[in-house]
């Protein structure tokens, strides 16, 4: 009788171990942990020439999970002083975020006709930037695949000193 109880415990422990491994390495459970860490960290000027303005938008992503995450797409809409100037993300590509790693993602955003490009020489202006970034990531593990898109928003005051 005692031996029968021990034999019955083997499948129970097996199920517990399989469930634990699935929870610890399932991309659908772990991907949200990483995607919730995405944040816009700053904006820098790359070019301001009349109607053509190129801004560098920096974001950081931390991966606290146990599976690698690939950032597959970043789409950014940037408003200057509440107005939309046709944000176009230039360049990019996929970027891997390994477990325990924090990476910086930089995208060039082109604006057409924004007041930044028409600012007079020798002046310092303050602009209100509203940034909305749709960031898509994916992960695979244990033969499973998951994808998730998060929207990160940030409003910031930004100064351009053209002296």
pLDDT in tens, 141-160: 878 888 999 999 999 999 99
Longest Cα–Cα distance of the chain, Å, equals: 91
In whole angstroms, what is the distance from residue 87 CA to residue 110 CA? 6
Provide the β-strand partners of residue 73. Answer: 136
The beta strands (E) that lie in the chain are given as 39-49, 52-62, 69-80, 83-84, 88-90, 95-97, 102-112, 123-141, 144-162
pLDDT tens-digit profile of 40-51? Answer: 999 999 999 889
The pTM score is 0.83
Give the CA count within 13 Å in the CB-facing half-sphere of 78: 32
């Amino acid at each position: 009788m005692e031996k029968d109880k021990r034999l019955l415990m083997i499948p129970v422990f097996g199920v517990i171990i399989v469930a634990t491994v699935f929870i610890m390495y399932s991309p659908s459970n772990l991907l949200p942990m990483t995607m919730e860490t995405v944040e816009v960290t700053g904006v820098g000027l790359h070019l301001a020439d009349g109607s053509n303005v190129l801004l560098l938008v920096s974001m950081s992503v931390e991966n606290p999970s146990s599976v690698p995450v690939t950032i597959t797409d970043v789409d950014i809409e940037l408003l200057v002083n509440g107005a939309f100037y046709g944000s176009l993300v230039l360049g990019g590509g996929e970027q891997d975020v390994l477990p325990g790693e924090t990476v910086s993602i930089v995208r060039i955003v082109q604006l057409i006709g924004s007041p930044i490009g028409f600012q007079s020489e020798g002046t310092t202006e303050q602009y209100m930037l509203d940034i909305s970034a749709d960031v898509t990531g994916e992960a695979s593990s244990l033969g499973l695949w998951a994808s998730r898109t998060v929207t990160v928003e940030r409003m910031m005051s930004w100064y351009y000193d053209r002296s």
